[in-house]
Amino acid sequence: MPPLLTAKRIVKRFGGVTALTGVDLELAEGEILGLIGPNGSGKTTLVNCLSGVLKIDEGGVSLRERKITRTPRTRRARAGMARTFQSPRLFTELSVRENVEVGLNALGHRRSGARGRVDALLRRLDISDVSRQVVSSLPYGYQRRVEIARALVGDPLILLLDEPAAGLNDFETAELRALLLEIRRENSCAIIVIDHDMNLIMNVSDRVQVLDEGRVIFMGDPRDAFKQQEVVEAYLGAG
């Protein structure tokens, strides 16, 4: 079966700085791919290129073997690519329910016909009891769940998560781990997850891809990543 998502030789420059140098990536149907690397390695830049937030300078991106390299981010979202960001980008003065409904509106769904879908998602992410509260009044862990709910409400093919465990305590991270596995199982949704929490990454990922200075230095089984000297040096320094 061909990959769900393919990126070939992605190059992204910011002025005189090359942030990505010929990066390849493949994501299979229903796979969870952990995207890791030290700070500044290019992880978020790559996800921004995949989702259409940034235009790439060289290379190509395909979704189900269809080129989307020049497709605007809104059309990529409607084709099934949803994402979250390092810091939740929520409408802080709207309620939890309203924030999730905004996700439907952005995808062209009628709000009146989607109440059941929103209700089910709020229950599933255990935020239905705070659905009428203003988002800014909620703890950070709840805000993370609201953002994931908004990303899931359109039933995406691919969920791109940028540091979803950032700011969470150990209990919340364990809940997140269970939630990601449930999303993959129940939605048949492929996931790319960036995070610095190695416990999370190693326990949810089918494969990991390690970036360093804008290039891929490892791709494979999570258990093998830190057996590679280049990976260890990228995180801890040579010697």
Where residue 122 falls among pLDDT bands split at 50, 70, 90?
A: very high
DSSP letter at 137 equals G
- In this predicted structure, what is the pLDDT of residue 87? 79
Buried b (16+ CB within 10 A) or exposed e, 154-189: bebbbbbbbbbbbbbeeebbebbbebbeebbeeeeb
pLDDT for 132 beyond 60: yes
Beta carbons within 8 Å of 152's beta carbon, 6+ residues apart: 82, 121, 159, 183, 187, 189
DSSP letter at 41 equals S
- In this predicted structure, what is the pLDDT of residue 136? 93
Where residue 49 falls among pLDDT bands split at 50, 70, 90?
A: very high
Rounded to 5 degrees, φ, ψ at 183 are: -60, -45
Neighbours of 55 (CB within 10 A): 12
Neighbours of 48 (CB within 10 A): 22
pTM of the predicted protein model? 0.92
- In this predicted structure, what is the pLDDT of residue 117? 83
Virtual torsion, Cα 122, 126, 132, 137, nearest 10 deg: -130
pLDDT for 195 beyond 90: yes
Where residue 212 falls among pLDDT bands split at 50, 70, 90?
A: very high
Quick one: what percent of the chain has pLDDT higher than 70?
95
pLDDT for 160 beyond 80: yes
Q: What is the pLDDT of residues 166-184, one digit of tens each?
A: 889 999 999 999 999 999 9
Residue 11 and residue 214: Cα distance in Å, rounded?
A: 9
Q: What is the pLDDT of residues 21-44, one digit of tens each?
A: 999 999 999 999 999 999 999 999
Domains of the chain: 1-80+157-239 (3.40.50.300), 89-155 (no CATH)
Give, for 43, the enclosing helix (H) or strand (E): helix 43-51
- In this predicted structure, what is the pLDDT of residue 194? 97
End-to-end CA distance of the chain: 42
Torsional class of 126: left (φ above 0), alpha (ψ -120 to 50), beta (otherwise)? left
Structure tokens at 238: 């040579």
CA distances from residue 107 to 39, 46, 55, 125 in whole angstroms, order as listed? 32, 23, 21, 21
Where residue 71 falls among pLDDT bands split at 50, 70, 90?
A: very high
- In this predicted structure, what is the pLDDT of residue 103? 75
Q: Residues 82-107: what's their mean pLDDT?
A: 86
Q: Residues 45-74: what's their mean pLDDT?
A: 96
Residue 9 and residue 57: Cα distance in Å, rounded?
A: 10
- In this predicted structure, what is the pLDDT of residue 5? 98
- In this predicted structure, what is the pLDDT of residue 111? 54
Tell me the pLDDT of the chain averaged across its residues. Answer: 92
